[in-house]
Structure formats: structure tokens, C-alpha cells
Amino acid sequence: MFASWYRLIPLSRLNQATIRTIRFKKNFSTTNVVNYFVITTFVVYFEENIDNMLRPSDAELEILKIVWQNEPVTVREVHEEISKNKKVKPTTTLKQMQRMTDKDLLRKIETDKVQRFVSNISEKETRKNLMDRLLETAFGGSAKALLLEALGSDRVSLEELKELKTLIKSKEDGAKGHD
């Protein structure tokens, strides 16, 4: 089981000083130190990949939106959709989708000798994670500040304001029911 993880981890980081430190702090044998190092490094690697998966770049998000609307899709279909708004080479789209497959954002499926792609993450989950990131980084975790900023822009329509009022009312009614 450990053998497959060794390829992912630069074991050059595991030097004698590191082994002595871990052995002292954890009271491990040298073999257990190597196993501990491999496991903890793998967990860090795994957490970084999960973080990347939950925070797609703008280019990745553009592709994901197309995939979510039309999955399963081919590279050609994605490229044609992207090309409506900007000039991009087909090889660029292909390379980006290959990277997204490597990052587990997309998954390749074979149908009738044609490679198609489906998303590995849901639109709802992605939106939630992007909103959480925006809330934390730009507004210090304050939902009030985020809403005030959004409502202060000229982009909010009267219909959207009515929907927000309805949503706030239902949240208030739900909170009263729990008191």
C-alpha cells in the first residue's frame, strides 16, 4: 500500500535529522518514521489536491460551466462554446481539459471511440466553496458586508430585490420556529 505513495512524495525531504526529530517526538522506530512521514506527506498532498479541486481557476470554471450544462462533452464541443466569446486554439482547450482531468476536476469516459468528459465536482458545491472563499478573503467572514456590497451595486434588479426579501423573510420565519 505504501509503495504507490512513494512515487508522489519527494523522499529526499526525509533526511537523517528529520528521522531523528520524528523518532524523538513520536518515540518511533526508523521504519515507523518512514511510514509516518509517507502518510503525513500523503495527507498534505491529498489535502492540497482537494483544495485545488474545490477552487478552480477562472479558465477552469469557464470550462466547468460548459461541462455542467452539456455533459458528457467532447473537447471540440467545449472549444466551440469558448470560441464564441474569445479566440482560443483547440490545443489550448485540450491541454486545459487534460490538466483538469489530472486535477480530478473532470473525468474522461469513452463512448463509441470518442473521448467525452464529465465533471467530478458539482456546480452547487463549487459555488458554495467559491462563495466561502470570497466571504473569508474579501469580507473577513462577514455575510452582512458581502450583502451590503452586492446590494450597493447597480447590478441588482428589482426582481432580485423581491426574491431577496422573500428569502430573508423565510429565514426569519425559520429562525422564529427554532426559538
Clarify whether residues 115 and 64 are in a common domain: yes
Clarify whether residues 109 and 127 are in a common domain: no
Clarify whether residues 99 and 147 are in a common domain: no
Domain count within the chain: 3
Clarify whether residues 105 and 141 are in a common domain: no
Clarify whether residues 79 and 29 are in a common domain: no
What pLDDT does 82 receive? Answer: 96
- Beta bridge partners, 115, equal 110
Q: How far apart are CA 144 and CA 159, in angstroms?
A: 20
Up-side HSE of residue 106: CA atoms within 13 Å toward CB? 29
Domain range for 13 is 2-53
Clarify whether residues 167 and 138 are in a common domain: yes
Look at residues 50, 54, 52 and name the one whose alpha carbon lies nearest to residue 42. Answer: 50
Clarify whether residues 47 and 69 are in a common domain: no
Domain boundary among 104, 119, 134: 119
What pLDDT does 32 receive? Answer: 52
Clarify whether residues 114 and 63 are in a common domain: yes
What pLDDT does 95 receive? Answer: 95
What pLDDT does 5 receive? Answer: 36
- 73: three-class secondary structure by DSSP: strand
Clarify whether residues 109 and 64 are in a common domain: yes
Report if pTM > 0.75.
no
What pLDDT does 40 receive? Answer: 53
Q: How far apart are CA 142 and CA 138, in angstroms?
A: 9
Per-residue pLDDT of the chain (179 residues; tens, 9 = 90+): 333 333 333 444 445 555 455 444 555 455 554 555 555 555 444 444 555 556 788 999 999 999 999 999 999 999 999 999 999 999 999 999 999 988 888 999 987 788 999 998 889 888 888 888 888 888 888 888 888 888 887 788 889 889 988 988 898 888 776 65
Domain boundary among 119, 140, 158: 119
Clarify whether residues 23 and 76 are in a common domain: no
What pLDDT does 51 receive? Answer: 54
